[in-house]
Amino acid sequence: MEAMAHSELAKLSLDLKALNAKPLWERTTSMGPGSPAIPTIWRYRDMRPQLLRAVELITAKEAERRVFMLENPGLPGSGYITNSLYCGLQVIKPGEIAPAHRHSPNALRFIIRGRRRLLDGRGRARCDASR
């Protein structure tokens, strides 16, 4: 009886796999709150000189977007600051055009320095910064 139940459980597991699902009791890692992300601070006073350095080393066109991805040291290789948040620092020089691209609806923009930000008729961002 026990062997039959085991084989039925194995079949159930295979059937679920075809549906991109898995029985909770087969998990290999513990569940619960927590993340490998560790508390981290990115200070603008530290990042700004590096952004200005990037302006001198690569054009916005060469880079596509001149952006630094902030990456949590507990999530190496992920490009994320937490399990579900991405954050990037971008620098756009006066007169440069940032090509249009798509984001999820919850993308936010914060202008840290600059005079104004304009969109042209084709959805391209144009920033005329004062500094």
pLDDT tens column, 13-30: 999 988 888 888 887 666
Contact 103, 111 (CB under 8 A): no
Q: Which domain holds residue 28?
A: 1-32
Domain assignment present for 37: no
Question: Do both 1 and 61 map to the same domain?
Answer: no
- Asked if residue 118 has pLDDT above 80, the reply is no
Question: Do both 77 and 107 map to the same domain?
Answer: yes
Question: Within a 10 A sphere around the Cβ of 101, how many other Cβ atoms?
Answer: 11
Question: Do both 64 and 18 map to the same domain?
Answer: no
Contact 127, 97 (CB under 8 A): no
Domain assignment present for 38: no
DSSP state of 80: -
Contact 64, 96 (CB under 8 A): no
Tell me: the pLDDT tens digits for 31-56?
667 788 999 999 889 999 998 999 99
Mean pLDDT over all residues of the chain? 79
Structural domain count, the chain: 2
- Asked if residue 120 has pLDDT above 70, the reply is no
- Asked if residue 131 has pLDDT above 70, the reply is no
Stronger pLDDT, 68 or 64, i.e. the higher one: 68
Domain assignment present for 25: yes
pTM of the full structure: 0.61
- Asked if residue 119 has pLDDT above 60, the reply is no
